[in-house]
Amino acid sequence: MSTYAENPFASTHSLDANPFDDPTERTSPAPSYPSPNHAARLAEINQRERDLERREQELTQKAEHIRRFGRNNWPKFYPVIFHSIKDEIPEEHRLLINRLYQLWFVLFGTLIINMIACIFILTSGSSGGGSDLGSSIGYLFVITPLSFLMWYRPIYNGYMKEQALYYYFYFVFCGFHLVFSLYMIIGIPGTGSAGLIQTIQMYAKPSFVAAILGTIATVGWVIQGVGNAYYYRQIWTHHKSAGHSVEKAKTELATHGAKAYFTRG
């Protein structure tokens, strides 16, 4: 009787025991930490991914800019920069930048006429004719690109981006240009200028071709010099009203870097 009362399925194990419980899983393993080499490798991969994303973003921005404005278009015979006043300059400032651009062309034409006048000054028998011609050729090939890059392009970028440092570039180098224009208007013999003094001497010789060309050159120096002085004052007024300062220019330079001031982005 007692034999049949016994539970044939009884077990010596406790009823609370879990048959699926693995004793080896009861203890959590110790956390593993990446080795220094592994961490450095991950940092390198992350940096590469960020660099790729940045380059992809730059290419996208460049493609969008090209789509909107086109590729480099200036100068026409060998385009190295993009120049479009109607696309890049705010409407309220386009007239001023157009006038400065026209004055730059007056300067370019004046340098050509000045050089040709110096050729005739040399052939007229002037004692300083050789120095005049050599200097006038140097002015044509040096002043032409420098004037565009050192005072016209900075103020173009200044009105396009409205950043203080461009204005200071303009004020410094256009200031030098105004002094140079006055020097060329005077026309001291042997300095490469067919300006006022040289022109008077050519009329007195007489050497009428050199005198007429000298007159045109002198008028050209006056037009572009007075015009640049007039707009210099207007730009200074705008610069002050916009709140630009040396401190702001320093902050921009520290933030964007020098390279940003030679690019269009």
User: CA-CA distance, 149 to 154, in Å (whole number)?
Assistant: 7
What are 190-209's pLDDT values in tens digits? Answer: 999 999 999 999 999 999 99
- In the structure, what pLDDT confidence band is assigned to residue 261 with cuts at 50, 70 and 90? low
Dihedral sign, Cα of residue 110, residue 230, residue 239, residue 84: negative
Q: Is pLDDT at 6 greater than 90 in this prediction? A: no
CA distances from 76 to 57, 67, 73, 80 (A): 29, 19, 6, 9
Q: What confidence tier does 13 reach under pLDDT thresholds 50, 70, 90?
A: very low
* Structure confidence by residue, pLDDT tens digits, 168-194: 999 999 999 999 999 999 999 999 999
Q: DSSP string covering 33-87, please?
A: ---HHHHHHHHHHHHHHHHHHHHHHHHHHHHHHHHHH-S--BSTTS--B---HHH
Cα 178 to Cα 45, 230, 238, distances in angstroms: 54, 11, 19
Q: What is the pLDDT of residue 181?
A: 98
CB 34 within 8 A of CB 42: yes
Cβ distance 236 to 244 under 8 Å?
no
Instruction: Tell me the per-residue pLDDT of 237-257, one tens digit each, with 9 for 90 and over.
Output: 999 999 999 998 888 878 776
pLDDT band at 23 (very low <50, low <70, confident <90, very high): low
CA distances from 45 to 32, 52, 127, 227, 246 (A): 21, 11, 72, 57, 41
List helix spans (H) across the chain.
2-5, 36-69, 85-88, 94-123, 129-147, 153-161, 164-186, 196-204, 208-241, 246-256
Cα 223-228-229 angle, rounded to 5 deg: 100
140: pLDDT confidence band, cut at 50, 70 and 90? very high
Mean pLDDT within 1-13:
48
Band the pLDDT of 52: cuts 50, 70, 90: confident
Average pLDDT taken over every residue of the chain? 86
Query: Is 256 in a helix, a strand, or coil?
Result: helix
Burial of 43 (0-12, 13-18, 19+ CB in 10 A): exposed
Q: Among 105-114, 142-151, 252-261, name the one with the lowest average pLDDT.
A: 252-261
Which phi and psi angles does 181 have, rounded to 5°?
-65, -45
Sign of CA dihedral 61, 63, 65, 68: negative
Residue 207, token pair as written in the block: 């050497």
- Name the residue type at position 235: I
